[in-house]
């Protein structure tokens, strides 16, 4: 996917940087024509940096996002649910890999990005710092969290940076399956016994507000939206996406017979949208800054998984080297 650029940036080096005025003007003109920027193209340093920031945070979110659901693979209530969850968690790992690859085209090494995550210096989505206490949480994550992720990520398929936009197309296709499997779990619980329905309701009560926080701070507090919009990275603002998410989710909750934990939710005919209540931004920033219920556990679990998986990476690399060598010697013999 990333070899469409012939003159790809070598990891550890930086892309051609366009910080003089003329090249900046040419860059902005390309953005205005909706052309894709590719790794070998000249680009302003600030554009490159913001892409590395966002794409790496996104990659970390996918990989850390495997943890809250991964813990339920052995506890899934049936073989079918176990198989589905296993495939979903594996997909998230794959998304992380596409995204680390997209970030690498901007001249950073994957090792440096992973190191920052393990040192607790890199951000990832706030949502993954909340615990998965019941099986219903697995349904809620698929329905609400993947639903919010799709809302945010579909516009990124049209983002100006080619490798990120192309990665997002595949990711969004897979995320839509994830969202449907989550909805299916919640629907089964809602159609089950009163205790199962209560489990679904209790889960929605805990996850609703953190899901709304996933879209990021209010537009007025969003430091990056202005430039990211000018550069064709962000197509729709944090608040506009949050509103779209509320508008599609309220009728889904009604269909399921669930109550969203916000008494301010009400259709506003004048605006043509649902009104909703105030988000607790203190909680959001606390979690983003490392003080959420699971921040410390998520980072230490990631470090442990990385260390325990070292032998697998080494074995795969040794196997690849051996295969390449035997292919080369077969060629010489032929
Ligand atoms: N959590 O200026 P703003 C998934 C930070 S994975 C933590 O609005 P921007 C899934 C922001 O980074 C879903 N931090 O930023 C996986 C910035 O801090 P820095 C992940 C947040 O970038 C497994 C500061 O707040 N999706 O779907 O314009 C299982 C100011 O914010 C958050 C993506 O990563 C947050 N929620 O907009 C299931 C999508 N929000 O960097 C599902 C790609 C904001 O200055 N990312 N911050 O230190 C984006 O679209 C944008 O980066 C955001 C934020 C909308 C998230």
> Considering only CA atoms, which of 284, 195, 198, 207 is closest in space to residue 249?
207
2 or 268, which is more confident: 268
Write out pLDDT tens, residues 58-90: 999 999 999 999 999 999 999 999 999 999 999
Whole-number Å distance, alpha carbon 124 to ligand 1 midpoint, is 7
Quote the mean pLDDT of the chain: 93
Sequential DSSP letters for 267-321: EETTTTEEE-----HHHHHHHHTT-STTHHHHHHHHHHHHHHTHHHHHHHHHHHH
Q: Give the pLDDT score at 12.
A: 46
Cα-Cα end-to-end distance for the chain: 32
Q: Give the pLDDT score at 328.
A: 86
Q: Which tokens go with 74?
A: 């052995």
Which residue owns the Cα nearest ligand 1 atom 39?
Answer: 58
Residue 252's pLDDT band, with cuts at 50, 70 and 90, is: very high
Nearest-atom index, ligand 1, CA of 65: 23
d(CA 163, CA 167): 6
Q: Give the pLDDT score at 9.
A: 45
Which residue owns the Cα nearest ligand 1 atom 3?
Answer: 222
Which residue owns the Cα nearest ligand 1 atom 16?
Answer: 62
Neighbours of 174 (CB within 10 A): 15
d(CA 48, CA 161): 9
Write out pLDDT tens, residues 14-38: 455 556 777 788 999 999 999 999 9
Residue 8's pLDDT band, with cuts at 50, 70 and 90, is: very low
Alpha helices by DSSP H, 214-275: 225-230, 238-256
> With 50 as the cut, is the pLDDT of residue 145 above it?
yes
Residue 4's pLDDT band, with cuts at 50, 70 and 90, is: very low
What mean pLDDT comes out for the span 106-116? 97
Q: Is 71 helix (H, G, I), strand (E, B) or coil?
A: coil
Beta bridge partners of 266: 275
Write out pLDDT tens, residues 279-304: 999 999 999 999 999 999 999 999 99
Beta bridge partners of 274: 267
Which of the listed residues 224, 242, 286, 295 should we mutate to test ligand 1's pocket, taking the one with most ligand atoms within 8 A of CB? 224
> With 50 as the cut, is the pLDDT of residue 202 above it?
yes
Whole-number Å distance, alpha carbon 95 to ligand 1 midpoint, is 15
Residue that the structure tokens 């080494």 belong to = 314
d(CA 91, CA 89): 5
> With 60 as the cut, is the pLDDT of residue 99 above it?
yes
d(CA 117, CA 263): 38
Nearest-atom index, ligand 1, CA of 213: 36
Neighbours of 262 (CB within 10 A): 18
> Considering only CA atoms, which of 65, 73, 36, 66 is closest in space to residue 51?
36
Residue 161 backbone phi and psi in degrees, to 5: -90, 115
Nearest-atom index, ligand 1, CA of 68: 29
* Rg of the chain, C-alpha, whole Å: 22
CB contact set of 248 (below 8 Å; sequence gap of 6+): 147, 151
Which residue owns the Cα nearest ligand 1 atom 49?
Answer: 54
| pTM of the full structure | 0.92
Q: Give the pLDDT score at 307.
A: 96
Write out pLDDT tens, residues 166-201: 999 999 999 999 999 999 999 999 999 999 999 999
d(CA 98, CA 110): 11
Ligand 1 residue neighbourhood (C-beta within 6 Å): 53-54, 57-58, 61-62, 65, 92, 123, 125-126, 145-146, 149, 152-153, 213-217, 222-225, 228, 234, 238, 288
| DSSP 8-state assignment for residue 37 | B
């Amino acid at each position: 996917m990333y070899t469409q650029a012939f003159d790809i940036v070598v990891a550890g080096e930086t892309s051609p940087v366009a910080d003089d005025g003329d090249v900046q003007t040419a860059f902005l003109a390309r953005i205005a024509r909706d052309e894709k920027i590719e790794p070998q193209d000249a680009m302003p340093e600030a554009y490159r940096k913001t892409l590395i920031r966002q794409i790496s945070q996104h990659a970390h979110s996918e990989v850390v996002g495997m943890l809250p659901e991964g813990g339920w693979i052995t506890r899934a209530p049936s073989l079918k649910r176990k198989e589905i969850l296993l495939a979903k968690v594996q997909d998230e790992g794959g998304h992380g890999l596409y995204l680390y690859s997209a970030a690498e085209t901007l001249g950073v090494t994957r090792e440096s990005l992973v190191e920052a995550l393990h040192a607790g210096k890199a951000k990832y989505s706030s949502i993954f710092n909340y615990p998965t206490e019941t099986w219903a949480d697995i349904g809620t994550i698929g329905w609400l969290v993947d639903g919010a992720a799709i809302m945010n990520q579909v516009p990124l398929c049209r983002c100006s940076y080619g490798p990120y936009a192309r990665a997002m197309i595949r990711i969004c296709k897979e995320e839509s399956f994830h969202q449907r499997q989550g909805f299916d779990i919640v629907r089964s619980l809602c159609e089950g016994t009163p205790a199962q329905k209560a489990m679904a309701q209790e889960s929605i009560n805990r996850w609703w507000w953190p899901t709304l926080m996933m879209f990021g701070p209010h537009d007025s507090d969003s430091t990056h939206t202005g430039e990211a919009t000018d550069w064709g990275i962000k197509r729709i603002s944090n608040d506009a996406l949050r509103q779209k998410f509320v508008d599609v989710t309220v009728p889904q909750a009604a269909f399921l017979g669930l109550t969203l934990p916000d008494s301010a939710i009400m259709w506003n005919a004048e605006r043509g949208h649902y009104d909703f209540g105030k988000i607790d931004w203190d909680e959001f920033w606390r979690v983003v800054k490392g003080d959420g219920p699971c921040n410390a556990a998520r980072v230490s679990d990631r470090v442990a998984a990385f260390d325990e998986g070292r032998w697998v990476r080494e074995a795969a690399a040794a196997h690849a080297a051996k295969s390449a060598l035997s292919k080369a010697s077969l060629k010489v013999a032929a």
